[in-house]
Amino acid sequence: MPVKNFVLLFAILCLSVSNAFCWDIIPKPKTEKPEKELCGLNPTWKWMAGPDSTEAIRSMYRQFERWADTTATGYFKPLDMFEKCPRVVSILIDKNVKTGTEGYQIRIKKEEIVVSAKTVRGLFYGLVSLKQLVFPLFKERKPFPCGTILDEPRFTWRGMHLDVSRHFFSVQEVETYIEMLALHKMNVFHWHLTDDQGWRMEVKAFPKLTEVGAFRPQTMNGHHRDKPRTFDGKPYGGFYTQDQIRHIVQYASERMITVIPEIEMPGHCQEMIAAYPELASKDTTTEVMTVWGGTDHILNPFPPTFRFLEKVLDETMALFPSAYIHVGGDEAMKKHWRKNTRIQKFKDSLKLKNEDELQSWFIQQIDHYLVSKGRKLMGWDEILEGGLAQNAAVMSWQGEKGGIEAAKMKHYVVMSPGTHCYFDHYQHEPKSEEPLAIGGLTTLEKVYSYDPQPAVLTADEKKYIMGAQGNVWTEYIQTFSQVQYMVLPRMAALSEVVWTEVPSKNYPGFKQRLQPLSALYGAQGWNWCRKEMP
Ligand code: ACM
């Protein structure tokens, strides 16, 4: 056996012994004080909620019930009245719990479990931990130790993104995605709703965005590097109605998840231009894009375009109560800004030196508009290129450079570098045995090793790092089952990156805790990649 494997095996053996008296929770809690005695929880126990905790309890019970139906009906019986009795799981708001607003405490005794938190959100996370603890008890009759868990997250932005433009996922699939996030205490769902290959949000003011922009005539086969290119010849598309979007936003909020919509501009807009050619910078019509990769179609920067975008953003803001609205800003090819004499004259009239400054000016107009409506703009790190808009937050994807630059300028940042946070990359070698992916190699261990606060930042600058996010671009992900395969268990690793303090992280221990968690994936009918399981 190679020395490396021997060392890993030894570490897992040591952890098995020490974990015999610890809890299998992912992300790993902040402090855990297990005791030798075991908790006697069984199906005869009662589950009771304090009067203040009803909202969290209701949403959690719905999840528990659905799950309990297939595993052990009878565990989760909410009682209206809070009463003191033995063999009970009590769920209470308690302002004296020593954590921040997202934290919780679980006190486990032989004949009593008390989950308490200052807020409903904290209680929800306590219940998520309890769900992970109780599951092996159903499955393997494996009891867990008494003791105390006191927990709260390291970061406030614990995000997962989903691209529904390149491939479209049903409302039910998006609900399941939200369930997946909730089980890992992730709290932001970044919904990538628009891109060159399909517009997915109903906009009442501009019906052609969905009538035209939501459907492409066909889709390329294989990888975008393949030559010659071939196509499937099948029309493809879909979109979410405003009612469906409201439902998703509510569904997520019941699981303590904020939905951040992304409306791309001024690049990645070929589908918008196909529907409304007057928005173009190039003097021809086009179709919704049928190939993967970049496009040189770009919105023009003239006043009617801004009036159009403002109406789109008005409807977006009415649907999404999030503080941040993501406006993309990445990979805008500026060829047609350079070639268009009217745009060049316009740029000169604004005394802008180049097209990067014009893009910055474009984003600033949108920034002012969003701020005037009480919202904040977020964009990919390209929005730094010609000068960052006054109030903008940056999502750093081209490595950490953009995030570092923005944090030094005292702008808020979400780290999402392609090296560690792109879940459309391959996760295992040999790549030939994996489903076709865009490229890269982002293993479970690599995700786990990530620290969103770069060492080059000072303690004060580090405060501008709100957290990190995993991105799921779907050019090569046709089905929801494959989304799950790409995301699980890498999201579990990311959840410890954004929740657990660095000294408490431990990769062999994480892999061990992954085993019961993946059994829970299976119990819920989710697909996941098993190749990194010990
Ligand atoms: C990106 O991956 N183009 C943000």
In ligand 1, the atom with minimum distance to the C-alpha of 473 is: 2
Q: HSE-up of 84 (CA within 13 Å, CB side)?
A: 0
Which residue of the set 268, 411, 420, 425 is catalytic? 268
In ligand 1, the atom with minimum distance to the C-alpha of 268 is: 3
Q: Is the CB of 331 under 6 A from ligand 1?
A: yes
Residue 28 DSSP label: P
pLDDT digits (tens, 9 = 90+) for 387-406: 999 999 999 999 999 999 99
Q: Is the CB of 294 under 6 A from ligand 1?
A: no
Q: How far is CA 77 from CA 47, 61, 122, 240, in A?
A: 6, 8, 21, 35
Nearest CA, atom 3, ligand 1? 330
With bands split at pLDDT 50, 70 and 90, how would you rate the model's confidence at 72? very low
Q: Which residues of 396-408 are buried (b: 16+ CB within 10 A; e: fewer)?
A: bbbebebbbbbbe
Radius of gyration for the chain, computed over Cα atoms and rounded to the nearest angstrom: 24
Q: Which fold does the domain 157-500 belong to in CATH?
A: TIM Barrel (3.20.20)
Closest CA to 483 of 246, 189, 68, 212: 189
Q: In which residue ranges of the chain is CATH 3.30.379.10 found?
A: 3-151
Ligand 1: residue of 268, 380, 442 to mutate (most ligand atoms within 8 A of CB) is 380
d(CA 200, CA 99): 40
Q: What is the pTM of this model?
A: 0.94
pLDDT digits (tens, 9 = 90+) for 183-238: 999 999 999 999 999 999 999 999 999 999 999 999 999 999 999 999 999 999 99
The verdict on whether 202 is a catalytic residue reads no
Q: Is the CB of 330 under 6 A from ligand 1?
A: yes
Residue 67 has what pLDDT?
A: 52
What are the φ and ψ backbone dihedral angles of 504, each rounded to 5 degrees? -90, -10
Ligand 1: residue of 330, 395, 425 to mutate (most ligand atoms within 8 A of CB) is 330
Please state whether the peptide bond connecting residue 34 to the residue before it is cis, i.e. omega within 30 degrees of 0: no
- CATH code of 3-151, in short, is 3.30.379.10
Interval between CA 482 and ligand 1 midpoint (Å): 20
Interval between CA 129 and ligand 1 midpoint (Å): 33
Residue 301 has what pLDDT?
A: 98
In ligand 1, the atom with minimum distance to the C-alpha of 395 is: 4
The verdict on whether 195 is a catalytic residue reads yes
Interval between CA 330 and ligand 1 midpoint (Å): 6
Q: HSE-up of 78 (CA within 13 Å, CB side)?
A: 19
Q: Is the CB of 314 under 6 A from ligand 1?
A: no
The verdict on whether 331 is a catalytic residue reads yes
More confident of the two residues 59 and 299: 299
Q: What are the residues whose beta carbons fall under 8 Å from the beta carbon of 230, sequence distance 6 or more?
A: 220, 221, 222
Span 272-301, mean pLDDT? Answer: 97
